[in-house]
Amino acid sequence: MKIIHTSDWHIGKIVNDRSMLADQEVVLHQLIDEFKALVPDLVIIAGDFYDRSLPSRDSVRLANDLIDRLMVELACPVAIIAGNHDAGERIAYGARAYERQNVHLAGLPQKVPQHVDLPGARVYLLPYADYQVIRELYQDPSIDSLEKAAAKQVQAITDQEAFDPDRLNLIVYHGYVTSSSLEEAGADLEESESERPLSIGTTEYVPSRVFQAFDYVALGHLHGAQRVKGENVRYSGSPLKYSKSEAHHHKQYLELDLTKESIQVTKHMIQPKHDVRVIKTSFDQALTGQSEDYIYFELTDQTPVHDGMNRLRDKYPNIMNLEYVNIGQVSAQIEGKISKDKLSRQVADPLELFADFYQETLGQPLTETQSQAVETAWLAAQKDQEDD
Q: Residue 342 pLDDT > 50, yes or no?
A: no
| pTM exceeding 0.85 | no
Contact 198, 204 (CB under 8 A): yes
Give the residue with greater pLDDT, 198 vs 72.
72
Band of pLDDT at residue 291, cut at 50, 70 and 90? very high
Q: What is the pLDDT of residue 338?
A: 44
User: CA 33, 38, 39, 43 torsion: positive or negative?
Assistant: negative
Strand-strand pairing, 114-118 and 121-126: antiparallel
Report the chain's C-alpha Rg in angstroms.
Answer: 27
Q: DSSP secondary structure string, 147-174?
A: HHHHHHHHHHHHTSTT--TTSEEEEEEE
pLDDT digits (tens, 9 = 90+) for 302-338: 888 999 999 999 999 999 999 999 886 544 444 444 4
User: What are the Cα distances from residue 289, in Å, to 101, 272, 293, 356?
Assistant: 50, 21, 12, 37
Q: Residue 347 pLDDT > 50, yes or no?
A: no
Contact 216, 170 (CB under 8 A): yes
Contact 63, 55 (CB under 8 A): yes
Q: Classify each residue of 73-99 as buried b or exposed e, where b means 16 or more C-beta atoms within 10 Å of its C-beta.
A: ebebbbbbbbbbbbbbebbbeebeebe
Q: Please tell me the class of the 2-269 domain.
A: alpha beta
List alpha helices for the chain, DSSP H: 21-38, 57-73, 88-92, 95-99, 131-138, 146-158, 283-286, 308-313, 325-345, 350-362, 368-387
Contact 356, 337 (CB under 8 A): yes
Average confidence score pLDDT of the chain: 88
pLDDT digits (tens, 9 = 90+) for 70-126: 999 999 999 999 999 999 999 999 999 999 999 999 999 999 999 999 999 999 999
142 burial type by CB count under 10 A (0-12 exposed, 13-18 middle, 19+ buried): exposed
d(CA 128, CA 130): 7
Query: CATH 3.60.21.10 region(s) of the chain?
Result: 2-269
Q: DSSP secondary structure string, 246-271?
A: GTT---EEEEEEE-SS-EEEEEEE--
